[in-house]
Chains A and B, each alone.
Chain A
């Protein structure tokens, strides 16, 4: 099994750290992983993206041309990457900032207003990225919540470990909302 994911958004939305966390969670589970950032003259407010591969086998090419899953936190990212997603792949959209509909009809689409959810449920918009990551976990089961939390402990410096409970709640919120959405989608046929 191999899962290829592209994560994209504005610089500052936590796209890179979300990708790193995902890769680290894969590593915690003993899987083969790779993480490649877009790099260049980038800045807060500019566009940023990263490619993550989580696989049971050796990652031959870490370059992702056709992701299984695309996670987009802003509109330019949806417009840039939507056509690349593998046929029948998954698309997770931050509907707080993306006000257009995806063009593709063959994708499993999940829209979450993560900025509002973060504000309303957790009182902190900075964990919006963790809500969509939670939704990704629920949807794909590529890694477990426990692995992501284990990865957080490794990625965050000790003096930031007080933020882990907040991040856990954000991940759980994403998982819960995704679960409801998936059930809803299924019942709609």
Chain B
């Protein structure tokens, strides 16, 4: 199929339809409004259901209900709305139901602003709500990747019976790029014998996150943990010129693209720079990161936050290489030039070292 020019938000929405999503519950917030706008028109055309709920809290609980009934369902929002959804998300994770949640990040904290940010990283990868749970978190960097990861997100959700988050940002949501949408939906269809579809002729299925008996609840938590450990086989990443890199930039989403341009400019000036881009943020591609940083004297994260990804990078490199941060916040976006300045600063600092 020929390529078309589409906004990230719209491409994501169309990809969800093609992945078999037939239920969407949401509440408007910039910069992700094109997702519900698109689905409000498209879902009825394919026999699906679109509901603009009275609040984010209502929306995520509608997702909980639809997921419990075995539907392919998703919701989308941005920072403040995702915060409101946290109660529902932890219930869904606790009840082990599949769904897709999109966060097109904007500047925070609080109401913050509406320009792009990446400051919801911790909230996304560490759980977000109460209790010990994890989401699978995927971070696309192009409009095409937003499309490609959507089908994967639904498959992973079904396979692990777990919410999957697609973590984008205002730029990815708003920008237009050429995109190829596959005609066929290539996603896997998993049987859902656990779904509450009416108990006629079988014993009832129970969907709950309530375990009043501590013995049972501990058992449940241990079971969840095994599942999160098993997810480590789902890591995704991209290496760009890391083989001989003495300085490795690490970034995801929009920041990774800016960092990539900085790598090219650094190479032109004879600096051996490379980029490691985690695509799955949870599970974090630890081994791949260590491999990419083998020759590195310095590692520099580029992110639109005051320093969140940087903590995971330090932890996953086991503090063996100095890891620095270049962050812009509040809707300000790093420029290639400023990233390059940082690269030069660390390369010329003479410090560093350490080997993996």
Enumerate chain A interface residues (CB-CB to B < 8 A): 20, 23-24, 27, 32-37, 39-41, 59-63, 65-66, 154
Do A40 and B114 contact each other (CB < 8 Å), given the known contacts A27-B3, A61-B336? yes
Give A65 to B257 CA distance when docked, in angstroms. Answer: 14
Q: Is the CB of A39 within 8 A of B176?
A: no
Q: Is the CB of B260 within 8 A of A39?
A: no
Name the B residues within 8 Å of A24 (CB-CB).
Answer: 5
Give A24 to B170 CA distance when docked, in angstroms. Answer: 21
Give A29 to B185 CA distance when docked, in angstroms. Answer: 28
Task: Name which residue of chain B comes closest to A36, CB basis.
Answer: B175
Most chain B beta-carbon neighbours within 10 Å: one of A37, A61, A66: A61
Q: Is the CB of A27 within 8 A of B171?
A: no
Do A61 and B5 contact each other (CB < 8 Å), given the known contacts A35-B175, A39-B30, A39-B174? no
Q: Could you write out 15 A-B pairs with CB less than 8 Å apart?
A: A27-B3, A27-B5, A33-B5, A33-B178, A34-B177, A35-B177, A36-B174, A39-B170, A60-B264, A62-B254, A62-B257, A63-B336, A65-B336, A65-B337, A66-B337
Q: Count the B residues whose beta carbon is within 8 Å of the partner chain — how many?
A: 24
Q: Is the CB of A20 within 8 A of B333?
A: no
B115 within 8 Å of A (CB atoms):
yes
Min CB distance B10 to A, Å, is: 13
Give A61 to B171 CA distance when docked, in angstroms. Answer: 11
Min CB distance B155 to A, Å, is: 27
Q: Is the CB of B115 within 8 A of A63?
A: no
Docked complex: B1-49 residues within 8 A CB-CB of A: 3-5, 30-31
Of all A-B residue pairs in the complex, the 6 with the closest CB atoms, nearest first, are: A61-B261, A35-B176, A60-B261, A60-B260, A65-B335, A36-B175
Q: Is the CB of B174 within 8 A of A37?
A: yes
Min CB distance B23 to A, Å, is: 28
Contact with A along B243-271 (1 / 0, CB 8 A): 00000000000100110110010000000
Give A66 to B95 CA distance when docked, in angstroms. Answer: 50
Most chain A beta-carbon neighbours within 10 Å: one of B5, B257, B260, B333: B5
Enumerate chain B interface residues (CB-CB to A < 8 A): 3-5, 30-31, 114-115, 170-171, 174-178, 254, 257-258, 260-261, 264, 333, 335-337
Name the B residues within 8 Å of A35 (CB-CB).
Answer: 5, 175-177
Name the B residues within 8 Å of A62 (CB-CB).
Answer: 171, 175, 177, 254, 257
Q: Is the CB of A63 within 8 A of B258?
A: yes
Give A20 to B260 CA distance when docked, in angstroms. Answer: 24
Give A24 to B4 CA distance when docked, in angstroms. Answer: 8
Name the B residues within 8 Å of A36 (CB-CB).
Answer: 171, 174-176
Min CB distance A67 to B, Å, is: 13
Name the B residues within 8 Å of A39 (CB-CB).
Answer: 30-31, 114, 170, 174
Name the B residues within 8 Å of A66 (CB-CB).
Answer: 337
Give A13 to B4 CA distance when docked, in angstroms. Answer: 25
Do A61 and B260 contact each other (CB < 8 Å), given the known contacts A39-B31, A39-B174? yes
Give A27 to B144 CA distance when docked, in angstroms. Answer: 14
Name the A residues within 8 Å of B178 (CB-CB).
Answer: 27, 32-33
Name the B residues within 8 Å of A154 (CB-CB).
Answer: 4
Min CB distance B255 to A, Å, is: 10
Min CB distance A140 to B, Å, is: 20
Give A144 to B31 CA distance when docked, in angstroms. Answer: 33
Give A162 to B257 CA distance when docked, in angstroms. Answer: 40
Apart from A27-B3, A60-B258, A62-B177, what are 17 other A-B pairs with CB-CB below 8 Å?
A: A23-B176, A27-B5, A27-B178, A33-B177, A34-B176, A35-B176, A35-B177, A36-B171, A40-B30, A40-B114, A62-B171, A63-B254, A63-B257, A63-B258, A63-B333, A65-B335, A65-B337
Task: Name which residue of chain B comes closest to A31, CB basis.
Answer: B178
Give A66 to B337 CA distance when docked, in angstroms. Answer: 10
Min CB distance A87 to B, Å, is: 13
Give A20 to B178 CA distance when docked, in angstroms. Answer: 11
Min CB distance A157 to B, Å, is: 14
B5: contacting residue among A23, A40, A65, CB under 8 A: A23
